[in-house]
Structure 1
Amino acid sequence: MLSGLALAGRAAGWGVRFYLRHIWLVAGLSAIPAVQRFVVIRFGGELPEGLSAGTEVLTAVVRLLLVVLIVRLVARDDPGLRDLGARGVWERFGEFVHRERAAFLTQFAVLGAAFVVFDTLPTAAITAWVPDPQAELVMAVLVAAKNPTVIAFTLIWMVAVVRAMVHAAMPADGASAGAASLDPSGATAQASARSDGGASTVGDIQNNGRRTQ
């Protein structure tokens, strides 16, 4: 049984490693919504009519593209998920949700807590402590900075949660097989051990035959 907080922590740890490994891809795509949010917040009143709405659509498309790329990279680098296919992943996800309902719902609580910490509280702090002339600029900088960091990592974490759920729902033998496929040196060592064992057995039989003669 996997607790909700343990699941969230496992997903967060994996998400940090994924983020650092693909930081240029994540930061590069996130730069587009970062610039868009900064311009709209800082100069929204001066933009031509309809431009703000158009850039909002662009931001949504870029974030969707980022999610698609994250999923594809996860599937490429995880043989267990790749072997399951989309249907198998969905079935394992459903099994986990049915079996570990509390752990699944805990993820929404974790996401809500993260929203309060990284969005509600900073916004309230700017409103309370930053003078009006500078508040708009500070808010624009904050929102722009959150795009390649907080928002991008949140998307990665959500994919990581699903990945962790699917792995938790896999049979133990399937998980062992997946681990073996990720460690070819281990498989080679096992094969070598079996070969050495077979050679030793043949040698023993030959020696016994000579003694009996």
Structure 2
Amino acid sequence: MSALPWFFVALAGFALLSGLYLIWESLRAALGATEPLEVQATAEADARRRLLERKEALLKNLRDLKFDYDAGKMSTPDFEALDAKLRTQAKDVLRLLDEDAAPFRQRAEAAIAARLEAAGQSPYRSKARDANEDAEPAVAKEAETSTEPGSESSSPVDPAAERVACAACDTPNDPDAVFCKKCGARVHGDDADASAPEEEERT
């Protein structure tokens, strides 16, 4: 008999605690308190799962619709109307999926940026920059060499100055010519001097 009052006391205490908890949750909802991260993540995952299921269902309906049309089970106007409707719904679902993935993409980009900032810099970018820095002096040196007054590229070559005149008839010939293209005399060295009198005697 003495244990019965304690039972009611414990029951009243449990009811009081439950009422206080419900009041606390109502106040949090009224004040706009945010849900725990685990609850938010679960809700986001459920919403994305429902969108993925909706996308797969729409794609299956599009395939079935095309199969029925190819089998001659529906007219062209009916097929075009249903196909346009399903495609519009599929585009809306894909847009929602893309918008839903935007926060995850931003978080991934922020995590990558933080990791690179902590590491100093990306090794790939540093290698590319070092290669460009090594190439710049070589390019500048080549440019300076090509613009020097004594360089071959900056000094024009007169084709007429390289021609060799024949000692017998003064006809200009190519630098590597052995015989004159007009009189046939030799145009290089002592042979040219010796061939001049022979040419005169021949004429």
**For the superposition of Structure 1 and Structure 2, which TM-score range results when normalised by the shorter chain?**
under 0.3
Which of the pair has the greater relative contact order for Cα pairs under 8 Å at 6+ separation? 1
Structure ID, larger Rg: 2
Compute the TM-score of the two structures, normalised by the length of structure 1. Answer: 0.27
Q: TM-score, normalised on structure 2?
A: 0.28
